[in-house]
Structure 1
């Protein structure tokens, strides 16, 4: 037996004995050392670190119409088409928002797919999502979609307790549908559900390696979406698998031989780590991160798409032509047309994300907005920086609040000596003389201004 052999991907001599094999088990491996259900999950370290391996090309994929619809009332066909149009504009000429996946189960779902396909956009590519069943695959064939996601649950939690199968039986079940995709020239994207509770070296790697072998034989890519279904992933250096995002990326690329561009990360936010884990996935070897608009998705939601737009820009040093002002249009569409309430402090899209309420901060903003604004939000999001109104705002602060309010665009150039500003200041001063200690809310100011405008028309 050879002691070492050359790895053609890394160009390094490595031991051929490092071959991860499927381990058949009679009982599931629940990783109780990490996940004692009656305690808080544990984060353990072995101090093994893998190298950063950011791909030459990274991109974003969208699941607004799939996972995003699993936590709210379904979008109408018209809403899906309008959102898809805006995603196209946001994506830019290089297609940084590379794909958008759709359900196919209802007539409404299929109608939305047809209408979006009729637009003829190159980006985002339209893909679908199915369970690993022949019945679901028939829907993909009928519509003529070129790539589909296939649910391939990979933890023993799912294999033993949901599918009631053994590991080898699950692989055989999944592979049957995957081969059908390949035979029809459809690119399969295997959704490795619950990967952060899966046996990485004794199930995930051998299964992924078999998929790579099948891909090589067929000449068709077989992609992997690593799904952190419960949000257990961590990005800390030296953390142990299966919780380590860097470790999972390294295993899929280095041990299973999956090309970077075939690997995608899908995170959930149960432990507030969706964005940091998605960024780590990019840094450690996957090209795609799967997101939904505003993080809307199952339970605590997915990785917010708008967050990864700005992560991309920070990592690459460029937006590569993405039109980020569309993010504000999308937020307004969701609130005003769809009726989705976006929490007001949500970064980039919340009503108050760039509104300063502290008096001393407001004073600094009025002198130079760079002091307390993260970047030129007016340029990139059509959202000028705003200040709240209090007893220290003065006429200038009140005029600034009115002129930057999206609700009163007709008052954009209001002068601080306008009668409206003077009346607001008198009202605010009286509030604080009577013992008020909090800033004036947007709702109070909007009501006052609306009443004033109605009276003085």
Structure 2
């Protein structure tokens, strides 16, 4: 594996959990992105690709939402994937029964816990919320499945009440408790504090479900792991409500290359997975999106291109082939002779030094006039200097 990251990373003594679980919620929270609707065919295709990656758990959906959603979750649960299949469930018996009918391996049941949500959304007191949550956990555990309890808006919940509700969930048999940073309003330092407080109070494993409203979802997830959390919720391309969730590809690659935490994922399929989700959701991946964006391995600046052609790691922290990506030299205003020459060599076109300099000059002029240097225009420029060419 060829990559080159800062050697100072190793100077910091860090301790991660011995076992880290990544549970992906692209098919549930990702689908809650406004305007996104995935059919059974699309959900199954994404689930298969997630399984090819080697994801540990897949949150396949929210079965009670519709009959089609129920069919999708059931289809995924019976596909024979290696990943554990989970479903989201409200703290209602009918929700849990619907999930059980889908043959899932487990459920994530949730209840809003902040005073803001209790008062304005649920119209419940703290005590009422406690009782509702526990009944659902107990009912699900009686059916012998994995049960996680998620406190919605946990990061804006009174700490003592949060401890109380998680402890009661633990006492009723919850296999894992989830901290939901529902509006992405916590800092990495705040997450470290919260996880440590809960770790000292609970025996149950802790998971994090982070939103990206302030661009801190990945940072908060890593901070939580270092504080003792053992599971992280992700979505492919970081999609999800509002600013989205912790991006699967960013978290995996950061852990692997920056922190030397290898979770055994088949990272060569990351770009395929990203493109599949982009296609199914009709949500274009921003060109400057970390890890999978087109621009991550595209180079235009002459100084950069010269160096990259000599040694790619001068301007790339890792080689694109690691994740199924491709490098591309882009011609434009900042291009130099070496970049243009490399592009000409791609097409097997030989030019003199004077012709090369003239082509570079014409490329710069065309781009400054607002024209993008695609293959057709590049051929036009070459022909204007050298005469008709085949490309």
TM bin (shorter chain): 0.7 to 0.9
Residue of structure 2 aligned with 1:132, choices 77, 87, 91: 91
Instruction: Encode CA deviations 1:373-396: one digit per residue, 9 max, x unaligned.
Output: 111222x12323333213664565
Q: Is the 8 A contact 2:332 2:367 kept in 1?
A: no
Q: Report what 1:308 is aligned to.
A: 251
Q: Report what 2:199 is aligned to.
A: 253
Q: Report what 2:142 is aligned to.
A: 183
Instruction: Encode CA deviations 1:16-60: one digit per residue, 9 max, x unaligned.
Output: xxxxxxxxxxxxxxxxxxxxxxxxxxxxxxxxxxx9763211121
Q: Report what 1:149 is aligned to.
A: 108
1:126 to 1:400, Cα distance in 2 relative to 1, 3 A: farther
Greater helix proportion: 2
Matched, 1:214 2:192: no
Cα deviation, residue 423, structure 1: 9.8
Q: Report what 1:358 is aligned to.
A: 301
Q: Report what 1:339 is aligned to.
A: 282
Partner Cα separation in structure 1 for residue 72 and residue 158 of structure 2: 38
Partner secondary structure for residue 177 of structure 2: strand
1:83-102 matched pairs, under 5 angstroms: 83-91=46-54, 96-102=55-61
Cα deviation, residue 351, structure 1: 1.1
Partner secondary structure for residue 150 of structure 1: strand
Partner Cα separation in structure 2 for residue 67 and residue 388 of structure 1: 36
1:336-415 matched pairs, under 5 angstroms: 336=279, 338-378=281-321, 380-390=322-332, 393=335, 396-398=338-340, 400=342, 414-415=347-348
Instruction: Encode CA deviations 1:333-384: one digit per residue, 9 max, x unaligned.
Output: 2345653211000011111112123222122112221111111222x12323
Partner Cα separation in structure 2 for residue 225 and residue 425 of structure 1: 60
- Alignment: residue pair count: 369
Q: Is the 8 A contact 1:396 1:416 kept in 2?
A: no
Partner Cα separation in structure 2 for residue 300 and residue 207 of structure 1: 28
Partner secondary structure for residue 362 of structure 1: helix
Q: TM-score, normalised by structure 2?
A: 0.85
1:434 to 1:456, Cα distance in 2 relative to 1, 3 A: closer
RMSD: 3.0
Partner Cα separation in structure 2 for residue 200 and residue 324 of structure 1: 38
1:137 to 1:372, Cα distance in 2 relative to 1, 3 A: same
Matched, 1:119 2:79: yes
Residue of structure 1 aligned with 2:67, choices 97, 102, 107: 107
Q: Report what 1:18 is aligned to.
A: none
Q: Is the 8 A contact 2:77 2:85 kept in 1?
A: yes
1:285-324 matched pairs, under 5 angstroms: 285-314=228-257, 317=260, 319-324=262-267
Cα deviation, residue 185, structure 1: 1.7
1:262-281 matched pairs, under 5 angstroms: 262-281=205-224
Partner secondary structure for residue 353 of structure 1: helix
Residue of structure 2 aligned with 1:205, choices 139, 163, 168: 163
1:389 to 1:250, Cα distance in 2 relative to 1, 3 A: same
1:391 to 1:186, Cα distance in 2 relative to 1, 3 A: closer
Partner Cα separation in structure 1 for residue 280 and residue 152 of structure 2: 33
Partner Cα separation in structure 1 for residue 260 and residue 390 of structure 2: 50
Q: Report what 2:184 is aligned to.
A: 231
* Structure 1 unaligned residues grouped into runs of 5+: 1-50, 216-220, 237-243, 404-412
Residue of structure 1 aligned with 2:350, choices 417, 421, 431: 417
Q: Report what 1:77 is aligned to.
A: 40
Q: Is the 8 A contact 1:154 1:194 kept in 2?
A: yes
Partner Cα separation in structure 2 for residue 182 and residue 450 of structure 1: 67
Residue of structure 1 aligned with 2:368, choices 420, 424, 436: 436
Matched, 1:66 2:28: yes
Partner secondary structure for residue 47 of structure 2: helix
1:208 to 1:450, Cα distance in 2 relative to 1, 3 A: farther
Q: Is the 8 A contact 1:266 1:291 kept in 2?
A: yes
1:365 to 1:100, Cα distance in 2 relative to 1, 3 A: same
Q: TM-score, normalised by structure 1?
A: 0.73
Q: Is the 8 A contact 2:209 2:232 kept in 1?
A: yes
Cα deviation, residue 252, structure 1: 1.8
Cα deviation, residue 225, structure 1: 0.9
1:414 to 1:191, Cα distance in 2 relative to 1, 3 A: same
* Structure 2 unaligned residues grouped into runs of 5+: 1-12, 383-388
Cα deviation, residue 246, structure 1: 1.1
1:433 to 1:402, Cα distance in 2 relative to 1, 3 A: closer
Cα deviation, residue 76, structure 1: 1.9
Partner secondary structure for residue 188 of structure 2: coil
Q: Report what 1:32 is aligned to.
A: none
Cα deviation, residue 414, structure 1: 3.4
